[in-house]
Structure 1
Amino acid sequence: MQKEDWGLYFHIPFCEHRCSYCDFFSTADCGFEKIERYFSRLSREFDLFARSVDKRTVHVQSVYFGGGTPSYAPASEITSLLSKILAEFDITEDIEITVEVNPHSALQETLSAYMEARVNRLSIGVQSLNPNELTILERIHSVNDCLTTVDVARKTGFHNISLDFIYGIPGQTMQSWKKTLEDAAAVHAEHISAYMLMLEKGTKMTGLLQSGALQLPDEDAVAEMYEFAHLFLGKSGYEHYEVSNFAKPGYASQHNIHYWKRKPYKGFGM
């Protein structure tokens, strides 16, 4: 019986702090009892899925914990759920297991627990390596926190690290964007994501822009930032394999590819 490669996504909607631009489904500063109840229900949802499919036809190729901020939850919640997933299904030899982390909550013991549980890819929510831009985005980490997190991840044994960035930030210039990407390339991340800032109704940043308290770069400047990312990262050894994503050879995200190619894919959570 032929097996199909599946991707599994688990949404962890908890954050320590809600950023000014964010409209993802998430909740900030909630108690750990609530997190524990959520993971219990997430586990039950997975159990229902596992019983509903013919496991003889399923190869799990990608497991992705996104958010929110998965690293804000106790590491034991992530690792226990992952242990259940790996015990329930056959996995491909090249399975990619990703956890999104923020520098403020990616502690040494957290990353070590992930590594022991077979997580083999980290996606770090850096967003900018400019302190003023981090303040505008209301990120609660510093530039140094970001660089330290990459260093700790390397020492923990992670060899597949993705860094997330945003361009088109209020007050951002081509010079600051260029510096961010140069600094990102200097830490030799295997994967870089560069997302244009999208403003949604109801976010704090949208209100500030409407009031005139903040001003976006003009459209031409934002287009130039995208073009610079394409050219600079290409020269730095990254393949521009998808609209917002760049990877060193062999490090394109299986999660992204699975989604874009519409391969079998299942999401869990709220």
Structure 2
Amino acid sequence: MRPGVYLHIPFCKSRCSYCDFATDVWRDSGAVERYVDALCREIEGGNPSGREGVGTVPQDDTLPTGRVSASHIDTIYFGGGTPSLLEPEQIERILNAVTSVFSVAESAEITMEMNPATVTPEKLDAFRKLGINRASFGVQTFNERDLKLLARGHDADDARQTYRMLREAGFANISFDLIAGLPGQTIEDWSRNLDEAIAMEPEHLSLYLLEIHEGTPLAEQVRSGRRTPIDDELAAEMYEMMLDRLAAAGYEQYEISNFAKPGFESRHNTKYWRLDPVYGFGVSAHSFDGRERYANERDTAKYVSSIEEEGSAEVFREIVNIGSETAFLGLRLNEGVDIEAYERRFGAELSLKSSELIERGLVESADGRLRLTRKGMLFSNEVFAEFV
């Protein structure tokens, strides 16, 4: 169990209609440079947001405890936003800040989220030389109508061209993001999306059912009647089609929304589901040290000024209910939860809470592990609510 590092880059060319993440439209290169300065300062402080003591995690044989500066990490994840908008020199500065504080494993997985039409061959070559070895590629859909609905700011050919550039630059670990359940989307539309994605053979696929968040332009369109969400029956049909088609194409489902060719599971994201420590830096970033969870300011300007003036942008912390989160996060994974190990550590709560879920066909107990059934995946939020 080694920690990972998450680095939030909030800038985008434009704001997507469904997005409720902490993002800012790129308008001023000076503001971007100031943000990079603040991010590096937070990292170099030795702890997320300069906190003393973060980095103390449950002891084992592989992970030193104490301050973050003693930690060996094996994943780095640039999320956003659109990190690929940054210049290679800025990414290099951030990575240098990370390596000044952390010992990074030679085999570390280093991921960058990238959007179509935000990179050039030269930029991708530079990212590869800096050690970026995994691309999380925001395709979302190959349907031109749906790209306009989502206000993605690129077309399907941009996605195809950027994918070719990634391969030509030597990226051998590429993940696609796709979204199902868009207003007006048909099962045939979704089938064509799956056909094209599978034919391109990325190593990993993250496929999500659309969630409409309050305060987004898409939510306003739905509220005003201009858009109509698809019904639950069609959403379930799309999800089940996804399960069947990806399995037939050789992708293994390892989490509710994530599929990979063998050996290409996201090592970083798996840390969240297994409650491994992750140190988050940047606006809105979250950290978990094995006991407590911390969160930074969500407003970029406030984050930067807080780091500049106080060295910290922390606005929230909580002690985590490890038993509860081990259960519902573990159930997100296809491997499920080891019942004996769980009850030895936390008591008989798992068996008590799961008995009714088993009767309803939402979870199953097999080989000493508790797992979601296919039906349970469709009603996963209902299952997880039992453990919160």
Q: 2:5 aligns with which of 3, 8, 11?
A: 8
Which aligned pairs between 1:77-116 and structure 2 lie closer than 5 A?
77-116=90-129
Deviation of 1:73 (Å): 2.1
Larger Rg: 2
Measured against aligned partners, the alpha-carbon deviations of 1:43-79 in whole angstroms (never above 9, x if no partner) come to: 0110112696546852211100000111122232112
1:121 aligns with 2:134: yes
User: Does the 8 Å CA contact 1:14/1:30 hold for their aligned counterparts?
Assistant: no
Q: Secondary structure at the match of 1:86?
A: helix
Structure 2: how far apart are the matches of 1:56 and 1:146?
Answer: 39
Aligned equivalent of 2:168, options 132, 155, 169: 155
Equivalences, count: 267
Q: Which residue in 2 is equivalent to 1:202?
A: 215
Name the residue aligned to 2:251: 238
Q: Distance in 2 between matches of 1:57 and 1:66?
A: 24
Distance 1:40 1:171, change over 3 A: same
Q: Residue 176 in 1 paired to residue 189 in 2? A: yes
Q: Deviations over 1:214-251 (max 9, x none)?
A: 11211110111111111111111111101111110000
Paired position in structure 2 for 1:45: 42
Supply the RMSD in Å over aligned alpha carbons: 1.5
Task: Evaluate the alpha carbon distance shift between residue 42 and residue 160 of structure 1 in structure 2; reply closer, same or farther with a 3 A threshold.
Answer: same
Where in structure 2 are the equivalents of 1:256-267 lying within 5 Å?
Answer: 256-267=269-280
Bigger CA drift: 168-177 or 101-110?
Answer: 101-110
1:248 aligns with 2:248: no
Distance of 1:199 and 1:159 partners within structure 2 = 33
Query: Counterpart amino acid of 1:38?
Result: Y
Unaligned runs of 5+ in 2: 53-65, 284-388
**What is the alpha-carbon distance in structure 1 between the residues aligned to residue 221 and residue 242 of structure 2?**
27
Give 2:167's aligned amino acid: R
> What is the CA–CA distance in structure 1 between the aligned matches of 2:120 and 2:273, rounded to whole Å?
32
Kindly provide the CA deviation profile for residues 138-162 of structure 1, in whole angstroms up to 9, marking residues without a partner as x.
1111111111111100100000000
CA contact (8 A) 1:55 1:89 kept: yes
* SS at structure 2 position matched to 1:251: coil
The alignment partner of 2:95 has SS state of helix
Deviation at 1:212, TM superposition (A): 1.2
Residue aligned with 1:49, SS: coil
Show the 5 A alignment for 1:3-42.
4-42=1-39
> What corresponds to 1:146 in structure 2?
159
Which secondary structure state, in structure 2, belongs to the residue aligned with residue 5 of structure 1?
coil
Structure 1 segments unaligned to the other structure (5+ residues): none
Q: Distance in 2 between matches of 1:249 and 1:144?
A: 28
TM-score, structure 2 normalization = 0.66
- Identical-residue share of aligned pairs (%): 41
